[in-house]
Chains A and B, each alone.
Chain A
Amino acid sequence: MATQAFQKIYTKLNQITKATCSVKATGVGNEELATVGGRLAQVVKIVEDNVTLQIYAGTEGIGTDAEVVFFGKAPSLKVGTDLAGRFFNAYGDPIDGGPEVEGKEIEIGGPSVNPVRRKQPSELIATGIAGIDLNNTLVTGQKIPFFADPDQPYNEVMAMVALRAQSDKIILGGMGLSNDDYLFYKNTFENAGVIDRIISFVNTTEDPTVERLLVPNMALSSAEYFAAEHNEKVLVLLTDMTLYCDALSIVSNRMDQIPSKDSMPGSLYSDLAKLYEKAVQFPGGGSITIIAVTTLSGGDITHAIPDNTGYITEGQLFLKRDTDIAKTIVDPFRSLSRLKQLVIGKKTRADHPQVMNTAVRLYADAANAKTKLENGFDLSDYDERVLEFAREYSAEILAIDVNIDTDTMLDTAWNLFQRYFNKQEIGIKDEFMNIHWKKA
């Protein structure tokens, strides 16, 4: 961003920390953008004429005589239909060698949607993955993260979901993405021939840490443009939100804020909610759906990051390696889609809710039987049967490489019920038993 005429230049920094610096200046607005020694920065605190700026690229090598230039505006992005198919960095500058985007300039991190203007999400997003479609159905306008350990194939699964889901635009916000993962997404989207509906804002591990604070807002503001103004269905992928939170804690630490749980800023809940709540079903028909990744440390979901995320998002998805069938499944116990009630049994077959619950209950019984087995107890006949059932349920329905529609999932489940159990053990309402339970 070039310096313009008549801008006041300050050259006397009075404080420099790892992420922030302070300068005496007047007429500066809160959250205003600036450059410090040519690096992009944002005003985070003003006390009389002392202005504190957070420097996105870090303060390494910044001198007390560095030039500070204020722009008189908050961080913004130029939006237009030309955004489609392009790759940008955290500042919204192209990194794919293409030209600058022409279009209107919007401030990022803008206001929230009036809750009474929101529409209730009601369109399901089919992915062909039973762990999602059958047990944890996704709906447009929803926000849901994968809670994954770093060794799990979450990027692969997320790319698969993105490609199979019917959406007009897929916007990738990559924070601290390794270069390899960035290239994985790029190649996957290119190979699938969908590059013209992809927009990426990427901060890789090679880029400065604090920069990634801009990424989700860049991605979500452009999503708002397509969803609100063009009534498009937009899917936003945010990975990895844990690294975003780490950057938040670095900045809050430099600003001498008192850390709360797990060294995270006390405002973590609000900070995350501001992003995730951008997921919305607009009255005009457009929608923003957010699928995020929050990496866990040793599966610990009580850590402040997954914990606050869980309270904000509409459910969470866990991946799990099912060793019995040697495949990855979406964990039926811990995963939850809170919005599924809006579509299952309504947009899908009426027996969907009961079949889903019954299968999960039987799968839980199988887990108990397994524990019994491990503790050296004898298995009852029922235990043997649920174990058999669980294996087939996992292999024929849950495995993420299975790609079938919801009706097929339900039919397969009924077949398995009938193969291993009697009517009482299933315990589904008679209304559905009469239709789907085949008479001998």
Chain B
Amino acid sequence: MTKGIVKAIIENLVQVKVSGPVSQNEICYINLGGVKLMAEVIKVLGDTAYTQVFESTRGLRPGDEVEFTEHMLEVKLGPGMLSKNYDGLQNDLNKMKGVFLSRGEYTDPLDEDSTWDFSPIAKAGDVVSGGDWLGSVPESWITHKIMVPFGMNDEYKVKQIAAKGTYKITDTIAIVTDKDGKDIELNMIQRWPVKIPIKCYAEKPRPFKLMETGVRTLDTLNPMVEGGTGFIPGPFGAGKTVLQHSISKNADADMIIFAACGERANEVVEMFVEFPELDDPRTGRKLMERTIIICNTSNMPVAAREASVYTAMTIAEYYRNMGLKVLLLADSTSRWAQALREMSNRMEELPGPDAFPMDLPAIVSSFYARAGFVYLRNGDSGSITFIGTVSPAGGNLKEPVTESTKKAARCFYALSQARADSKRYPAVDPIDSYSKYLEYPEVIEYLNKNVHPTWVEDVLHAKDILRRGREAQEQINILGDDGVPLSYHDKYWKSELVDRVILQQDGFDEIDSSTPMPRQKYMLELVLELCDTELVFETFEEVMPYFIKMINILKQMNYVEFDSSEFKTYETELHKLVDERSAK
């Protein structure tokens, strides 16, 4: 094993003089008075390895000893990861002692003593390869597949498989024979380097299925799909985190992996507190039972921040290979980019725009490319839907991280400061935002078949109403209320109808916070019907009070149970109101 000694220290960049071979991204441990600090090789020059240390380097001295491990940064995969809270390096935070984090304290991500009810899937004599299912154990409400380690990409013959029963994750559950006749014992644990994508699937088609999030401005107007990618840029205070949290609470996924990357600790605490209490609307179980939180908050070491998104993605890929629908959320990818910038700066690399490293766009796009819908070799399907937030400096979308991400992600949910200022939440700008998936023929077909036969047409119609409303509003602002034809007021207020009833949603209201698709369909059809109704007004002064009344009734409908008697009372009231001014 290669050893080395510390040569230079510049904050968390440590140069190590090595005595043997080292590889790029190899992990090493630096011995600081008995405490071992984990570090990753990020550059090698002659006999000097440049390493980024995942901890504070306070007190480190030249001459301190370093041990290399011969492997890259890995995650440990196996049953028992659900509901866990990990740091960026997959240490189980709950296993750490003390209120404060201490340097060099690394904890086991899995519980080696835990026992699991194993049922075999493969039989003796089967030919298997990396990623194939050997058996399964129930993990919370997920059927956790025990797979052939992804790195075993030859063909192997199953020699023996454990019978149905209770086993520890360290027990041998299968013996497979490789083509040289050598036996390999497998247990429920495997390791995988986080920077390498797991590709043990048959094919990766274009995504086509709607991924419901319960957030109307997404599902209705700019839908996300299973295996899709999207990002949410927005200035601070525009509600990025609140939006991501509500997606994580309501999304129609088998499991959620949330990477809190360089953001506020109190936001993560909110999840720690709420998720074990909140019910998953689909299964009735607690939200925490389908969630893994990877938490590297802004005050935790910077280098581990970069690792955290990769750790999260790798765990997502592991579960995808079990045929599960995984939703991966990262908040915020800008902090990750900043971590890259800090290192690049310390390495004295020539900077790209805004001092970010030159290869930022490439790094971002190869990360987004790891998401996707896949068909496994056994015909099952799995998916990783990835939505990241971006925190653009100064709220300016023409900055390197936003631009790099825009090239990589297919959905763009732009949060607008103006909407946030006027408390129009979620502040997703309906006109600037887009979902490329709405142009996919397979998605259009899926939506029209599963939601409503003219759904996509209706959605585009709603977008046009919003666009027309914005134009009308601009004219009204320039020419004055009485300087424009009456129809401008009508157009503007109809767009307000769509905006306030469909797009705006009260994330803190029990009922309004999540809207299932049938209800979204019902409300959109209702609002479009109202928008298409010709209304008669004498003067422009009558327009606003009338629409305010209408919006008010519709909002009350949003607040009560769908199709309840109250809901219907409001609806009757609404139709009465329409009849007052309907041209017919």
| Interfacial chain A residues near B395, Cβ < 8 Å | 302, 307
> Are the C-beta atoms of A310 and B237 separated by less than 8 Å?
yes
> Are the C-beta atoms of B269 and A261 separated by less than 8 Å?
no
> Are the C-beta atoms of A311 and B342 separated by less than 8 Å?
no
Within 8 A of B (CB), among A390-440: 424-425, 427, 429-430
> Are the C-beta atoms of B351 and A115 separated by less than 8 Å?
no
Closest chain B CB from A420 CB (angstroms)? 14
* A267 interfacial contact with B, CB 8 Å: yes
> Are the C-beta atoms of A307 and B394 separated by less than 8 Å?
yes
* A110 interfacial contact with B, CB 8 Å: yes
Closest chain A CB from B512 CB (angstroms)? 11
Residue ID in chain B nearest A422 by CB atoms? B545
Q: CB-defined interface of B415-427 with A at 8 Å, one 1/0 digit per residue?
A: 0000001110000
Residue ID in chain A nearest B99 by CB atoms? A117
Contact of B266 among A111, A120, A333, A360 (CB under 8 A): A120
> Between A and B, how many residue pairs show CB distances below 8 Å?
203
Interface stretch of the complex, out of A46-54, A81-89, A203-211:
A46-54
Closest chain A CB from B389 CB (angstroms)? 11
Complex formed: what's the CA distance from A342 to B266 in Å? 11
> Are the C-beta atoms of B101 and A29 separated by less than 8 Å?
no
Asked if A429 meets B559 with Cβ closer than 8 Å, knowing A111-B103, A118-B266, the reply is: yes
* A28 interfacial contact with B, CB 8 Å: yes
> Are the C-beta atoms of A277 and B508 separated by less than 8 Å?
no
Interface stretch of the complex, out of A9-17, A233-241, A319-327, A377-385:
A377-385
Complex formed: what's the CA distance from A45 to B11 in Å? 7
Asked if A121 meets B266 with Cβ closer than 8 Å, knowing A46-B9, A48-B7, A258-B351, the reply is: yes
> Are the C-beta atoms of A110 and B338 separated by less than 8 Å?
no
* A353 interfacial contact with B, CB 8 Å: yes
Q: CB-defined interface of B287-310 with A at 8 Å, one 1/0 digit per residue?
A: 000000001011110100000000
How many chain B residues have a CB neighbour from A under 8 Å? 74
Contact of B101 among A45, A112, A278, A283 (CB under 8 A): A112
Contact of A259 among B295, B338, B355 (CB under 8 A): B355
* B354 interfacial contact with A, CB 8 Å: yes
- Which residue of B85, B265, B270, B423 has the most chain A CB atoms within 10 A of its CB atom? B265
| Interfacial chain A residues near B268, Cβ < 8 Å | 115
Within 8 A of B (CB), among A252-282: 257-261, 266-267, 269-270, 273-274, 277-280, 282
> Are the C-beta atoms of A74 and B59 separated by less than 8 Å?
yes
* A219 interfacial contact with B, CB 8 Å: no
Complex formed: what's the CA distance from A261 to B245 in Å? 30
| Interfacial chain B residues near A336, Cβ < 8 Å | 237
Interface stretch of the complex, out of B19-27, B157-165, B547-555:
B547-555
Residue ID in chain B nearest A425 by CB atoms? B548
Q: CB-defined interface of A89-120 with B at 8 Å, one 1/0 digit per residue?
A: 00000000000000000010011111111111
Complex formed: what's the CA distance from A288 to B582 in Å? 59
> Are the C-beta atoms of B264 and A314 separated by less than 8 Å?
yes
- Which residue of B10, B63, B299, B482 has the most chain A CB atoms within 10 A of its CB atom? B299
Asked if A310 meets B236 with Cβ closer than 8 Å, knowing A113-B99, A260-B354, A266-B341, the reply is: yes
Closest chain B CB from A229 CB (angstroms)? 11
Closest chain B CB from A222 CB (angstroms)? 16
Residue ID in chain B nearest A308 by CB atoms? B393
* B57 interfacial contact with A, CB 8 Å: yes
Q: CB-defined interface of A192-222 with B at 8 Å, one 1/0 digit per residue?
A: 0000000000000000000000000000000
Complex formed: what's the CA distance from A273 to B60 in Å? 23
Complex formed: what's the CA distance from A135 to B457 in Å? 41
> Are the C-beta atoms of A120 and B299 separated by less than 8 Å?
no
| Interfacial chain B residues near A107, Cβ < 8 Å | 58
Residue ID in chain B nearest A379 by CB atoms? B481
Complex formed: what's the CA distance from A9 to B521 in Å? 78
- Interface residues, chain B, with chain A CB atoms under 8 Å away: 7-11, 15, 56-63, 85, 93-94, 96, 98-103, 235-237, 262, 264-266, 268-270, 272-273, 295, 297-300, 302, 335, 338-339, 341-342, 345-346, 351, 354-355, 391, 393-396, 421-423, 480-482, 508, 541, 544-545, 548-549, 551-552, 555-556, 559
Knowing that A115-B85, A277-B264 touch, tell me 8 more A-B residue pairs with CB under 8 angstroms.
Answer: A30-B9, A107-B58, A115-B265, A120-B272, A261-B393, A273-B299, A361-B423, A378-B481
> Top 10 A-B pairs ranked by shortest CB distance?
A302-B394, A273-B298, A277-B299, A310-B236, A260-B355, A47-B8, A29-B59, A31-B58, A112-B299, A377-B480
Name 15 A/B residue pairs within 8 A (Cβ), A-sorted: A28-B61, A29-B59, A47-B7, A49-B62, A111-B103, A112-B299, A116-B295, A258-B345, A259-B355, A267-B11, A269-B335, A270-B302, A312-B264, A360-B423, A424-B545
